[in-house]
Amino acid sequence: DSGVTQTPKHLITATGQRVTLRCSPRSGDLSVYWYQQSLDQGLQFLIQYYNGEERAKGNILERFSAQQFPDLHSELNLSSLELGDSALYFCASSVGPGEATEAFFGQGTRLTVV
Amino acid sequence: AQSVTQLGSHVSVSEGALVLLRCNYSSSVPPYLFWYVQYPNQGLQLLLKYTTGATLVKGINGFEAEFKKSETSFHLTKPSAHMSDAAEYFCAVSVRAAGNKLTFGGGTRVLVKP
């Protein structure tokens, strides 16, 4: 158990819909990262938050957004879903962006868009 | 920007044989390097990491990797494969200036034959 909790584990939804993925980081970790894993794109960094502030942005679509709340949990919002958004979405947490520590990954949320 | 290339998307080894997974990276600043393992339907688990100091890094489950700056490589080895090593392995790079977000290679799936 990495200490990072993601909910839900599985999500099936229709095209055009909106979903919210939730992540609770390890106790004491201030930095949260979101990654997308798909067969054609591999593991791609989406976005990072540190202590409530956006820290870095990767290949995140405009239809996607995220935030980190005062209690440090984070949510990834995916809207106007398309078939190609079907993927495994991982959240990871670490102490902070300035430390050379590893990121701990959650079990992921498998999103299927039908 | 950083990048990672993993040579070989699939590797098949016999139980008891040497496991060698190749990883080459590109970074304009000193990198942090990681190997993660992903078992089916699971998140990513850190095997080992290189930040600074000793270039031969030992990790969990008998794995080790050597950082070779001149070759921009960070190959992963295990002297004797076990059936439980069957999984997908990801090499990743991060740099402090980019908030330590991970850039992953394409992954290498390891099959262990009895």
Q: What is the pLDDT of residue A100?
A: 62
* Mean pLDDT, all residues of chain B: 94
Residues in chain B closer than 8 A to A101 (CB atoms): 100
Q: What is the mean pLDDT of residues A15-27?
A: 97
As given in the structure block, the two tokens for residue A84 are: 């190609």
E strand spans, B2-107: 3-7, 10-14, 19-26, 32-38, 44-50, 56-58, 64-68, 73-78, 87-94, 103-104
Phi, psi of A103 (to 5 degrees): -95, 140
pLDDT band at B97 (very low <50, low <70, confident <90, very high): confident
Q: What is the mean pLDDT of residues B59-76?
A: 96
CB atoms < 10 A from the CB of A19, how many?
18
Is the predicted pLDDT of residue B98 greater than 80, yes or no? no
Instruction: Find residues 69-88 of chain B whose CB sits inside 8 Å of chain A.
Output: none
Instruction: Please answer yes or no on whether B43 and A94 come within 8 Å at the CB atom.
Output: no
- Cβ of residue A105 closer than 8 Å to a chain B Cβ: yes
Q: What is the mean pLDDT of residues B67-75?
A: 95
Q: What is the mean pLDDT of residues A60-69?
A: 96
Is the predicted pLDDT of residue A99 greater than 70, yes or no? no
Residues in chain A closer than 8 A to B36 (CB atoms): 105
Distance CA B53, CA A52 (A): 33
Work out whether the CA dihedral A21, A98, A103, A73 comes out positive or negative.
negative
